[in-house]
Amino acid sequence: MARRATPRPVYAQPQAITTDSVTRHLWGDAESGYVGDEVLLSTDTLHALIFTLPPGGSFGHSPDNRTVFAADEVYRVLEGTIAVIDPAAGQVVKATAGDCVFFRRDTWHHGVNWGTGPVRVLEYFSPPPATGASSAYAKTVPYLEQPVHADNSVLGVWPMDRTSIESKDTLHLVQERDMRWRVEGAVQVGVVCSTEHLTVVDIQVLPGHASAVRRHQGDALLHVTEGEIHVHTPDAESATWWRVRSGESMAIPDGFGYRLVNQSGAPARLIGGSAPGYLRD
């Protein structure tokens, strides 16, 4: 089955996105496997979605559904355990809930559910499909005829040659201990990745704390992973005060400022992605 274009929800004003309002999309075929997406945002600068693999589920690629793009990508595991694979090199990364996997353009990638329940993954992607960086680009890449799911080059030399082997890795596991931390007033910010195309951060807001007004270079998508957060959008034309619960998201279009306010008695944790940049001049 030819791959159908992913829907591209765009918001002119800040907007909360719930499980009832999210845009759903199924892609794949018998060879690549089928994947259900919840598309959160897809603008000219940023693409963000959540995909789910059921127990025993996986995705690969086929001639009509090629998983190699001209974009920087971050996977953040929300639930379960996933093996992310570079089938061109055989590198495999195991990521569990709370972990991130980062990779750059021209990286073929497959995914396998390595848990007993469903695996849900938040994905940030930039440059986005609107620029031609996804399926349109994938059609121009030489087809990978013989995917491999194991790196035999490590046999007999691991971990002695670890530095040399890891220098060739295309998939990068980023856990909390690997993040580069920032003190942004009362908010704790851990940088997962920051490139010329995409910045993804882990944000923690303690009870009773609030951020200053934040503005990014380009569009942003926040997703609450723990607790709940109130988002103040002072520049919005209508709604300016949003309650965003765990599992829900908030779209912040380019040019809009926002504040994060934790009015609850428990910490709130979010993942934020912005593109092309994090700080607005």
Which CATH number fits the domain that encloses residue 35?
2.60.120.10
Judged against a pLDDT cut of 90, whether residue 4 lies above it is answered with no
Shared domain for 64 and 155, answered yes or no, is yes
Cα–Cα distance between 192 and 273 in angstroms, integer?
Answer: 10
For residue 234, what pLDDT band results from cuts at 50, 70 and 90? very high
Scanning the chain, the segments in alpha helix (DSSP H) are 135-138, 162-166
User: Collapsing DSSP states into helix, strand and coil, what is residue 246?
Assistant: coil
* 9 found inside a domain: no
What is the structure's pLDDT at 184? 97
- On whether both 163 and 184 belong to a single domain, the answer is no
Asked if residue 167 and residue 215 are part of one domain, the reply reads: no
Work out the average pLDDT over 5-24: 94
Residues 111-124, mean pLDDT to the nearest whole number: 98
Q: Is there a domain that residue 213 lies in?
A: yes
Residues 115 and 228 in one domain: no
Q: Is the pLDDT of residue 149 over 70?
A: yes
Which of 5-9, 22-26, 141-145, 228-232 has the weakest average pLDDT? 5-9
Instruction: Tell whether 253 is covered by a domain.
Output: yes
Inside any domain, residue 93: yes
Determine phi and psi for 134, rounding to 5 degrees: -105, -110
Whether 206 is in a domain gets the answer yes
3-state SS assignment for residue 34: strand
Q: In terms of domains, do 156 and 187 share one?
A: no
On whether residue 136 sits in a domain, the answer given is: yes
- The pLDDT > 90 percentage for the chain reads 96
Residue type, 135: S
Q: What is the pLDDT of residue 118?
A: 98
- Tokens describing residue 104: 């750059």
CA atoms within 13 A on the CB side of 208: 1
Which of 174, 202, 218 is the C-terminal boundary of a domain?
174
* Beta-bridge partners for 245: 228
Number of domains composing the chain: 2
* CB contact at 8 A, 51 and 37: yes
108 with 150, same domain?
yes
Residue 98: per-residue pLDDT = 98
The answer to the question of residue 5 being in a domain is no
**What span, in angstroms and rounded, lies between the C-alpha atoms of 48 and 248?**
13
78 band by pLDDT with thresholds 50, 70 and 90: very high
249 shares a domain with 202: yes
Whole-number pLDDT of residue 131: 97
Q: How confident is the model at residue 224 (pLDDT cuts 50, 70, 90)?
A: very high
Torsion-angle region of residue 255: left (phi > 0), alpha (psi -120 to 50) or beta? left
What distance in Å separates the CA atoms of residue 78 and residue 100, rounded to the nearest whole number? 9
Q: Which helix (H) or strand (E) holds 244?
A: strand 241-245
Same domain, 168 and 40: yes
| pLDDT score of 1 more than 90 | no
Global confidence as pTM: 0.96
* Local confidence band at 2 (pLDDT 50, 70, 90 cut-offs): low
Tokens 């994090």 sit on residue: 278
Range(s) of the domain holding residue 202: 177-276
Do 145 and 228 belong together in one domain?
no
Q: Is the domain of 31 the same as that of 164? A: yes
Looking at 119, 153, 174, which one is the last position of a domain? 174
Q: Beta strands 249-252 and 218-226: pairing type? A: antiparallel
Assigned domain for 41 exists = yes
> Do 40 and 115 share a domain, yes or no?
yes
Within 13 Å of residue 246, how many CA atoms lie on the same side as its CB?
A: 11
Residue 238's pLDDT is: 87
Of the residues 131, 155, 174, the one at which a domain ends: 174
93 and 213 share one domain:
no
pLDDT computed for residue 6 by the predictor = 84
